Amino acid sequence: MYGRRLRGLALTTAALLTLTLVLVFFWAPNDATLGFLQKIFYVHVPLAIVTLCGFIAGGLMAIQHLRTRDARWDVRSYVAIHISLVFGIGVLVTGSIWAKGAWGHWWVWDEPTLVSFLLIMLLYATYQPLRFAIEDPERQSRYASVFAITAGAFVPMNFIAVRLSTAYLHPRVLGSTSNLPGPMALTFLVSLLALALLFATLCKYELTAKHTRAQLRALRRRLDGETAPAPARTRSAAPSLQPVARMSARAGGGPA
């Protein structure tokens, strides 16, 4: 069942997100050079890391789909990429806000992370149109998996290429965690964990919702009579889950 651990996951996520906000605004010290603006760093960079890992995870799940031909891996891949896209929009917007605050422009080409992200988002924005353009569900899943793997491999290489192209002109302002003082590093890590859990929660949420709808459709078909033909599926970019009937744990007679 998809929703089994959803509650615990969601509660943990909520707790960690709250903790993150508390740490960011009440505990982490202000940066000496960047000032209060540096606080954006605690949402922008973890969001970016989670998004990239989400895209790569989508690629890994796609590999599993091609290897096992199990449609569930394709659904997981789809959901991971879908939510990473949403997070990615958040990365671009928060990065843009940070650029405006730090340099006065809503967009800067100097920051390799932002530029890499723009490219990655341009690529993954074609994922849904690609799926939508293929009607046969099996072929849709297969082609989407090929795309997800290619794009997943593209992510690290894109980063390297863009970083190389700007490295000698402007130093990276969003520094790595290695030279962060203690309290800042801890806050950053907590934020990273919280956003990673948020990603996982939203994925699970989405999968549970999809599964519920599939169960609903199956139930409707069964109630309408076994002979009723399966309703023709309209064209959709989203893969569907096969419903799983759960045996009732409660004792008592009746059909299983």
Which of positions 144-183 make contact with another protein (CB under 8 A)? Answer: 145-147, 149-150, 153-154, 157-158, 160-162, 164-165
**Which of 136, 179, 151 has the alpha carbon at shortest distance from 56?**
151
Question: From CA 198, how far away is CA 196, in angstroms rounded?
Answer: 5
Give min distance, CB of 243 to another protein, in A. Answer: 13
Q: Are 211 and 241 in contact (CB under 8 A)?
A: yes
Q: CA angle, corner 211, sides to 206 and 213, nearest 5?
A: 100
Judged by CB under 8 A, the chain residues 25 through 54 that form the site for another protein are 29-37, 39-40, 43-44, 47
What distance in Å separates the CA atoms of residue 62 and residue 144, rounded to the nearest whole number?
8
Contact 92, 118 (CB under 8 A): yes
70 binds another protein (CB under 8 A): no
Pick between residue 107 and residue 205 the one whose CB is nearest to another protein: 205
Query: Nearer to another protein by C-beta: 4 or 132?
Result: 132
Q: Contacts with another protein in 109-128 (CB under 8 A)? A: 119-120, 122-123, 126, 128
The residues, any chain, with a CB within 8 Å of residue 120's CB and separated by 6 or more, are 52, 55, 88, 151, 154, 155, 158
Q: Does 100 bind another protein (CB under 8 A)?
A: yes
Q: Of 11, 22, 86, 245, which lies in the binding site for another protein, with binding defined by CB under 8 A? A: 86
Which residue lies nearer to another protein by CB, 35 or 175? 35
From the list 1-9, 49-57, 140-148, 171-179, the region that binds another protein by CB under 8 A is: 140-148
Tokens of 222: 């069964």
Comparison of 57 and 91: residue with beta carbon closer to another protein: 91
Q: Is 101 in the site for another protein (CB under 8 A)?
A: yes
Structure token digits, residue 81? 């990429």
